[in-house]
Amino acid sequence: MNGFLSEIGEQPTALRATCDALPAQMGGVRDLSDQLRSGPIRRVILSGMGASFFATHPAQQMLIRFGVVAHCVEASDLLYYQHGLFDARTLLVLVSQSGRSVEIVKLLEMVAKRVPVLGISNSDDSPLAQRSTVHVRIHAGAEATVSSKTYTCTLAALHAVTRVLGGGTPDIAALTGAADTIEANLPAWNTAVGAVVEQMHDAQSILVLGRGASLASALTGALIVKESAKFPAEGMNAAQVRHGPIEMVDGRIGAVLFAGSDPQRALTLALARDLHGYGARVALVDHAPAPNGIVGIPLHAGLDPFVQPIAEIVPMQVFGALLAAKRGYTPGAFRYSNKVTTAE
């Protein structure tokens, strides 16, 4: 089996290993939570690059629900343009699967212990692990290709960290439930996604759309398609489509939509129907059967809305791998970049 597909299949094991290790790592996070509630820390900025950055969106939404002022800012922007946003009263949450990405290393040098840093990475000996005030280690294991295990494990770690920062406890049962969902659905996803590949492999480009916590899945899903299959794809908030992009939709456009959870789900379903009506080749990731003419990718019902991105991204990973093979590429193989980005 191809390395990327193998790593996709290893995610339930990696997620369970990460979940097993999370509770013992929450002590330092609780200390930061106390400072959020007592006043020394007034705001949270979540930052990273690529999939690591996209993974922060559900966490930001959760923090806001807990009454915490929180912002997502790309590490490059934070480094060069928006560093005025943070000071000693800011908790900087830095996410990097390797812990060695160039922007993260430079940010660590910039703050130089003047700002509390909560780091999340897949390494104990990286600059991020060694220089963070508090470091939370994910246990994704070795990963050589396009991010899969590290991404879903990062989502799990961010979910646990965010609940603790908000004054609660990690919901390990919900997170391991996502691992169970992935394990149970992988065979069905391989079949359903194969139909989507046949539908879209000769499209001109693909839109990947989601709302709320599923915005992370839309952005990461498009990144996977570009990185693995070398295919033009754009990830965006589904709400943006009616504000201009819908004008380019016709039979040459593919669209994958993450239905997400209520109340936004009804809006996404309506958009899926309209895109299909305008001629687009449409697929829908949802727990209910897809409307007529739209290819459905099944998702287990009842997942917590902020846990759902962990499971729903996996069909998109499979799509990236199968589309790459269909187009004659080795799934997950890099042509110009490396696993760790060291050039800006």
Residues 6+ apart with CB under 8 A from 216: 54, 55, 56, 57, 58, 155, 210, 309, 313
What whole-number distance in Å separates Cα of residue 313 and Cα of residue 263? 20
What whole-number distance in Å separates Cα of residue 258 and Cα of residue 265? 9
What would the two tokens of residue 260 be? Answer: 């997400």
What whole-number distance in Å separates Cα of residue 62 and Cα of residue 212? 10
- Mean per-residue pLDDT over the chain, rounded: 95
Place domain 185-326 in its CATH homologous superfamily.
Glucose-6-phosphate isomerase like protein; domain 1 (3.40.50.10490)
What whole-number distance in Å separates Cα of residue 166 and Cα of residue 162? 6
Give me the pLDDT at residue 302, please: 86
Reported as a single tens digit per residue, the pLDDT across 206-225 is: 999 999 999 999 999 999 99
Give kind and range of the element (H or E) at residue 221.
helix 215-229
Residue 231 predicted with pLDDT over 80: yes
* AA identity, residue 105: V
Sorted by where each begins, the domain ranges of the chain are 3-170, 185-326
Identify any residues that bridge with 93 across adjacent strands, giving them in sequence order.
Answer: 46, 118
Residue 25 predicted with pLDDT over 90: yes
CA distances from 136 to 118, 130, 181, 267, 334 (A): 8, 11, 24, 36, 28
Give me the pLDDT at residue 30, please: 98
Reported as a single tens digit per residue, the pLDDT across 46-84 is: 999 999 999 999 999 999 999 999 999 999 999 999 988
**Would you place residue 263 in the very low, low, confident or very high pLDDT band (cuts 50, 70, 90)?**
confident
Place domain 3-170 in its CATH homologous superfamily.
Glucose-6-phosphate isomerase like protein; domain 1 (3.40.50.10490)
What would the two tokens of residue 186 be? Answer: 């992988």
Residue 262 predicted with pLDDT over 60: yes
